[in-house]
Amino acid sequence: MHLLVPSNAKQLSSRAEWFKNPIARKLNQEKGVEFGFELKGESETITEAPPLFWGVHLENNLATNWYYHPENRSEIIHSVTELTKLRPDYAVLHGIHLDWHPPKKDYIGRYINHSSASELLKISKANSELVKILKHYFNLKIENFPLTDCYKEDGKYLPSTFLYTGAGRLNDLLEIKEEQGCDILLDLEHLAIVLNFLNREENYDNIPLKKIENLTFADRKIYEKYGFYVKKGYIPYTDEKYEIKDWIKKIKAKFYHLTGSFCEIDPGKKITTHMPVETDDKVFRKYLKMVLAQEPEVIVLEVASKGDNPCYDYLRPNETELSFYNLCRILLEEL
> In terms of residues, how long is the chain?
335
End-to-end CA distance of the chain: 10
- Write phi, then psi, for 79 (nearest 5 degrees): -65, -35
CATH of the domain at 192: 3.20.20.150
Distance, CA of 174 to CA of 144 (rounded, Å): 10
The torsion of the CA quartet 316, 267, 288, 334, rounded to 10 degrees, works out to: 60
Mean predicted confidence (pLDDT) in 12-17: 94
Name the more confident of 118 and 318.
Answer: 318
270-291 pLDDT tens trace: 999 999 999 999 999 999 999 9
16 Cβ neighbours under 8 A, 6+ residues apart: 50, 52
Containing structural domain, residue 307:
2-334
Count up the domains in the chain and report the number.
1
Could you tell me where the beta strands, DSSP code E, fall in 125-254?
A: 140-143, 148-153, 156-163, 183-187
Total-model pTM = 0.96
Partners of 271 in the beta sheet? 265
Find the helix packing angle between 282-292 and 244-251, rounded to 10°: 20
169-211 pLDDT tens trace: 999 999 999 999 999 999 999 999 999 999 999 999 999 999 9
Distances (CA, A) of 264 to 157, 161, 301, 323: 11, 9, 17, 18
88-141 pLDDT tens trace: 999 999 999 998 888 888 889 999 999 998 899 999 999 999 999 999 999 999
Distance, CA of 116 to CA of 119 (rounded, Å): 5
Q: Predicted confidence band at 52 (pLDDT cuts at 50, 70, 90)? A: very high
